Structure 1
Amino acid sequence: MFEDVPPVPDGAVLDTVFRQTDVGVHVLDRKLRLVRVTGAGLVTGSVAEHLLGRPAAEAYRIFGVEVREDALREVLDGGPPLRDVLVRGRPPHETGPEHVYSVSVYPLIAPEADGAQAPPIGLVATVRDVTQRILAEQRLGLLYQARERIGRTLDVERTAHELVEVTVPGFAGSVVVALTDAVLRGKPPELRRAGETPLLRCAAVGGSGAVHADGPLPEPGAVLLPGLFGERLPEGPELVPAGPDVRLVAPLAVRGQLLGAVAFRRPPGADPYTEDDLALAEGVTAHTATCLENALRFTREHIVMTALQSWPLRPEGETRHAVEVAQRHRPGGTGAGSWFDVIPLPGARVALVVGQVERPGLSSVATMGRLRTAVYSLATLDLSPHELLARLHTVTQRLAREQGPAHDPDEPAASCTIAVHDPVTGRLEIARAGSSLCVAVRPDGSLDADLVEEGPLLGGDGPPFACASHRLPEGTTLCLASSERAGGGPSEARIAAALALPGRGPHPMADDLAALLAPERVLLVARTLRLPAGDIAEWEVPAELSAVAPVRHAAEERVRRWGLGVDPLTVELIVSELITNAVRHGAPPVALRLLRGDATLTVEVRDGAATAPHLRHAKAGDEGGRGLHICATLSDAWGVRYAAEGKTVWAEIALDAPAP
């Protein structure tokens, strides 16, 4: 059994509530007059005695608090209590900042003898000073806003403006953000040196009123030292006197590197900065400095990526007999690693290349440059498009192994489409790795979006890659573009609308299509041409040595008739050696073809054998074995390309003067 517990006197409880707690207790009668005030809060001491008996609205107006009598009467008439209503006020004769009070209002009910519920005889309001809690919540809210809103863009000046937008007007009436001259120029920030302050220029301003004690807000670009930030830049957030007012100055630094500084100033009459504000400023400026460093690093990488991706365009004169080309690159700043190329090939042919490394970034742009170089080098081997992609796949895998461990999910992977157009026959050989835009519009306006199927990515599953062969009429418009990973590319209808007008040139067509592509994509629009018949000479050669001389003399005569800037005897000797090799070591049918270009004359000998000719170095007493050596000596370039029906050995001779 518990011992009897003596009852606590009601007077002791009331005395504790009214006199010894940090909660103010205000009692109102049914006419909403203030009848008792005690404890902490707005009304204390002699002020309380002076206000007793006055209506609540009149009594609290002295403290700058407007009382809603309708809300109080609603509680008095049986409505729900008011809980945690925040009001602002200042005790009389106090010159400091306003206080924030949490007010709760409850009905005051006197107990009946029989326990029955009686109507309220008044109201009891509890008042607690929550100024510090509200200020802490505001500081946390400002810090949260800073982390959410500052650094959304990887732009140095925009980040400075975001700092101003976040801190005005909640933290300061006016703000000036200055950055070092090196940062504004996109250069790496310098390490801070004791006693030294680098050149600071205004990057962003906001708010109203004078930041200088005797002048207006500075203009962007203005030099701000000495003066605005004091004679020396503080090591951390610091209060700096500025005439009758005080500024809060904080450096923008990260890992010992100074990027800039910021000056906060509150308008006259506002609450002065406190130690808690210095801590808040340190958190905001530290986050801003990190964002500025990220933006600066991105800017430097963007400059490098732009330089890497700004490849020189091929001179249009090199391929003007094969295609009319329009090339477009829609920049976006992400460095997607997209590239295109127009590569002239022997025999007046041209290779159209469009590719893209799958992930954006500086490493992808670097990989793109290496793959583009590899494509250009492999194209000189006269490989068919699908064989070229197979070798490019090996190069991509080697690059992946160099960049990371085996089976890395982020290893380089790329898409690439290669199309080779022959203006003599009108044949188009095309192969594709990955997905990309690849369509053809014929002169009658018909659209062919199935030139070739999609193949595996380079560096992924590997060959075989999809390939196809088409014979296109002159005037067909080809459209090749790098892949659209997000949202898909333009529809076939919009492509047809841009390409199906034969009277328009490739450049206006490319302008229309480029507007439909996503940023960081490249586009090639090429209209196919045929080599004029007057620039082609062909002879069928019987598979016997006696046929070499007549064909050799016919080729010499044609070169003389064309009036080219080349020695006809040189052409005669090259033709003689190539045909002799084809008759002796090849297989019928054998044919000779001369192609007249602006800067070169191409000699091609085709036969039905797939045997590979190779350059030999004959001994002094040998009667043969010098044919290819003679051709290599007299010509500027020579090579061999293979087809299903045999091979073609070619030699190019540079012209001393342009063709008439």
Structure 2
Amino acid sequence: MSGSKDVELAPGAAAPGPVPATPGPGPAPSPGPAAPDPDAPGGPDTPGPAAAPGPDDAALWGEAVLESVFTQAAVGLHVLDTELRVVRVNTVAVGIRGLPADQLVGRPAAEAYAPAGVSVDEDVLRTVLATGRPVLDRRVTGRPLADPRTEHVFSASVYRLQDAAGRVLGVVITSTDITERERAQARLRLLQDAHESIGSSLDVERTARELVDLTLPRFADSVVVALTDTVLRGREPGLRSRNPAPLLRCAAAGRTEAGPPVPQPGTALLPGIFGATLPPRAVLIPCEEEDGTTGTRLVAPLTVRGQIFGVVAFQRAPGAEPYGGHDTQLVEGLADRTATCLENALRFTREHVIMTALQSWPLRQEEATQRAVDVAQRHLPGGSGAGAWFDVVPLPGARVALVVGQVEHAGLSAVATMSRLRTAVHSLTTLDLDPHELLARLHATTLRLAAEHANGSGTDRPTAGCTVAVHDPVDGRLDIARAGTSLLVVVRPDGSTDTHPVDEGPLLGSGGPPFACATHHLPEGSTLCMVSPGTSEDGHPGTRELLGALGRPDRGVEAMADAVEGLLAPDRVVLLARTRHLPPSELAEWTLPFDFSAADTARTCVEECLRRWNHPADPFTATLVASELVTNAVRYGAAPITLRLITDSATGLICEVGDAGQAAPHLRHARAVDEGGRGLLICATLAENWGVRYTGEGKTVWAELGERD
């Protein structure tokens, strides 16, 4: 018989029925029972039981068994002689159903079985004749004339026949129709392959394409997967009960050469090939073939918990075997798997859009020119939602705060936590806190977020690493505080580097203050490299590679940022800042006596400085604010007192008065009869903004003045 081959899935068919016994050469019929003896008791008219063969009548037993097998066995039997001609077949004759007996007996096997689509492998048969070694369970396929649209699968075994003297008589072939078993196994293999191949990516269109690739041509000659317009736009799918005929668009389609035509991807498919409305489950829908005949299309909805994602339609080529009940069950399994993967892909798509929007929000900020530093920033999103961020926040006194952080445990919740922490950073910087104090307040915020997580979704408690550096361009002072293990390197203009400018500290939300802090005075042109913390898998680049990327401080910060970015994994941010110092044309500072005459001295200094700078600020307003701040310092502060003027852009002016006292200035509204108490109120009224910051040596009260009206 033909060689073994892989059997593709085909619907089940009824087991072949028996055919009449085929006469032909073979063992002589066994003799009947002996004639009754007329002299025996009972006489000739009294029938008696036939005498059974005795145990020594082996030939009679063999003939009886052989006849019973050929007439009653459910296994097909085919007897061939040494010339491979058909000698006899039994009544079942599974492999030749529909062939007349007179077209089989006496003809070569290859010729006799050809009309049934069976290819006889004569080499195998001759090998069995020559060696006597049987061939067992060989797969054979064919299309019997009684069922030409269905390909049947048989398990055939070949044995050599020989007589008692050892003479070879031919071969006998047994065949069993295993079509249903093979199809059941093929259905299981298809479902298993669906679980392995569908849903390999979190993309709805690719998931639809995977369903087409899996089932074509194993199960259909034409496959169309349509998704609702809502799903393709990344929105929440609608309920099937509310819209039984949604707008559908072809997401993926395919066909064999013989398969019916399919629409192009993107084509709008108002329920047509899928029926007037979407079916509640897999159903067979009549359809008209190209030749005008009527066929069937197997349609199944793609739904999860009542939400409709789309629909799939399978169709076979004209003339092929139609779909049956087992196919409907199989398609429901395929549709369930595909719909689940579509739900996961849609959820990921929506979360990815949200994460990308939230992640890019703080990272795509406008690059405002800072007088304190020149900055370069890099971020290569990796799609995992790492929750990394950086900020460059202007502070009073021409100072700037540089912030880099990253939330642990990537994901949508991490990005949301990052956004809330960044908002907290911006709020805390308005208090003009020292970096370590800012981290302490940010740690308290992180703990509150952790408490919300514990009471809500129960996910991992949020923790974060964060580094805050404040640079003062007046004297080059750099105050740093660090929580976690972010990457931090300082490169000076002469090429010397400091790879450990501050110790590592505990994470925000885990451990708490005190956080590691340090103070440095950097020469102008120094470069500060800050990189968000990496995961354990990412790690940090080697010190040698990093120093190589940061070498040559004569390069611009943009070129250095490009070199550092190439060493890091995606989802990490890089912030490089090159320090600047304020020139004498933008800064003036005086030490004033600790008495009330200092107010007159302050007015004189301010007037002369504005005239020397040719500054557009109103001299009256500037001198009044300066004198009131100095008076307040003398009355409530401690020596020494310093006055500082800083030009803020082309038109702005910053007036700062520092003293050694720690008493907080208090803004109050004096009564009409009060002789004092109006100094800070005057400053707050005339200035665009004002405030106070504390240092280890005392405090500084500042006011920002704009151009005269």
Tell me the TM-score normalised to structure 1 length. 0.88
Q: Which residue is 1:100 aligned to? A: 153
Distance in 1, matches of 2:708 and 2:254, equals 68
Residue 20 (str. 1) matches residue 72 (str. 2): yes
Q: Provide the residue aligned with 2:215 in structure 1.
A: 167
Deviation (angstroms), 1:100: 0.7
- Measured against aligned partners, the alpha-carbon deviations of 1:290-316 in whole angstroms (never above 9, x if no partner) come to 222332233233333333333265544
Q: Secondary structure at the match of 1:328?
A: strand
Q: Is the 8 A contact 1:314 1:342 kept in 2?
A: no
Closer, same or farther: CA 553–109 of 1 in aligned 2, 3 Å:
farther
Match of residue 155, structure 1, among 200, 203, 206: 203
Partner of 1:395: 445
Distance 1:210 1:328, change over 3 A: farther
Query: Is the Cα–Cα contact under 8 Å of residues 221 and 259 in structure 2 kept in the other structure?
Result: no
CA contact (8 A) 1:189 1:259 kept: yes
CA distance in 2, matches of 1:247, 1:407: 45
Select 1:219's aligned residue among 264, 279, 287: 264
Task: Kindly report the root-mean-square deviation, in angstroms, between the aligned alpha carbons of the 2 structures.
Answer: 3.1
- The answer (yes or no) to whether the contact 1:86–1:101 under 8 Å persists in 2 is yes
- After superposition, the Cα gap between the structure-2 partners of 1:15 and 1:515, relative to the gap in structure 1 and judged at 3 Å, is farther
Residue 440 of structure 1 corresponds to which residue in structure 2? 490
Measured after TM superposition, the shift of residue 418 of structure 1 is 1.3
In 2, Cα distance between equivalents of 1:194 and 1:629: 64
> 2:331 matched to which residue of 1?
281
Distance 1:410 1:481 in 2: 24
| C-alpha displacement of 1:625 | 4.0
Deviations along 1:423-475, one digit per CA (max 9) or x if unpaired, are 12222222222222322333334443323333222111222222222222222
Asked whether the 8 Å contact 1:100–1:129 carries over to 2, the reply is yes
Aligned partner letter, 1:67: V
SS at match of 2:632: helix
- Mean alpha-carbon deviation: is it higher for 450-459 or for 131-140? 450-459
In the TM superposition, what is the alpha-carbon distance from 1:55 to its structure 2 partner? 4.7
Q: Does the C-alpha gap of structure 1 residues 19 and 324 become closer, same or farther in structure 2, counting only changes over 3 Å?
A: farther
Structure 1 residue 126 displacement after superposition: 2.8
Aligned counterpart, 1:115: none
Offset at residue 517 of structure 1 (A):
3.6
C-alpha displacement at 1:503, in angstroms? 4.8
CA distance in 2, matches of 1:527, 1:561: 29
Structure 2: unaligned runs, 5 residues or longer = 1-53
> For residue 360 of structure 2, what is the aligned residue in structure 1?
310
Counterpart selection for 1:520 from 544, 547, 571: 571
Structure 1: tracts of 5 or more residues without a match: 1-5, 113-117
State the distance in 1 between where 2:443 and 2:134 align.
Answer: 76
Contact (CA 8 Å) 1:441, 1:477: kept in 2 or not? yes
CA distance in structure 2 between the partners assigned to 1:315 and 1:655 by the alignment: 25
2:625 to 574, 586, 594: 574
Amino acid at match of 2:346: L
Amino acid of the structure 2 residue aligned with 1:471: H
Aligned to 2:139: 86
Matching residue of 1:542:
593
Q: Secondary structure at the match of 1:311?
A: helix
1:628 aligns to what?
680
Judged with a 3 Å threshold, the aligned counterparts in structure 2 of structure 1 residues 545 and 144 are, in CA distance, closer, same or farther, namely same
How far off is 1:388 after superposition?
Answer: 0.8
State the secondary structure of the residue aligned to 1:392.
Answer: helix
Give the aligned partner of residue 3 of structure 1.
Answer: none
Aligned positions of 1:162-561 closer than 5 A: 162-193=210-241, 196-209=244-257, 216-225=261-270, 227-240=272-285, 241-243=287-289, 244=293, 245-311=295-361, 313-317=364-368, 319-405=369-455, 410-485=460-535, 486-561=537-612
46 and 211 in structure 1: CA distance in 2 versus 1, 3 angstrom threshold: closer
Aligned partner letter, 1:68 = D
Displacement after TM superposition at 1:321 (Å): 0.8
What's the offset of the Cα at 1:145?
Answer: 1.8
> 522-531 or 305-314, which moves further after superposition?
305-314
Aligned to 1:66: 119
1:185-210 Cα shifts (integer Å, max 9, x gaps): 22322233589522222221222358
Task: Rate the CA distance shift 1:567–1:580 in 2: closer, same or farther, 3 A.
Answer: same
Q: Distance in 2 between matches of 1:404 and 1:68?
A: 72
Given that 2:221 and 2:258 are in contact with CA atoms closer than 8 Å, whether structure 1 keeps it comes out as no
1:370 alignment partner, SS class: helix
Tell me the distance in 2 between the aligned counterparts of 1:67 and 1:489. Answer: 68
- Greater Cα offset, 290-299 or 67-76: 67-76
Over 3 Å counting, the alpha-carbon distance change for 1:233 and 1:316 in structure 2 is closer
User: One-letter code of the match for 1:647?
Assistant: K
Whether the 8 Å CA contact 1:323–1:529 is kept in 2: the answer is yes
Equivalenced residue count is 643
Corresponding position: 1:649 with 2:697: no
Whole-angstrom distance in 2 between the partners of 1:478 and 1:77: 88
* Counterpart residue number, 2:691: 639
CA contact (8 A) 1:195 1:232 kept: no
Alignment pair present for 1:127 and 2:175: yes
Cα 1:119–1:506 change in 2 (3 A) is farther
- What is the distance in 1 between the residues matched to 2:670 and 2:171? 121
Post-superposition shift, 1:379?
A: 0.9
State the shift of 1:345 in Å. Answer: 0.4
Which amino acid in 2 is paired with 1:101? F
* Identical columns (%): 58
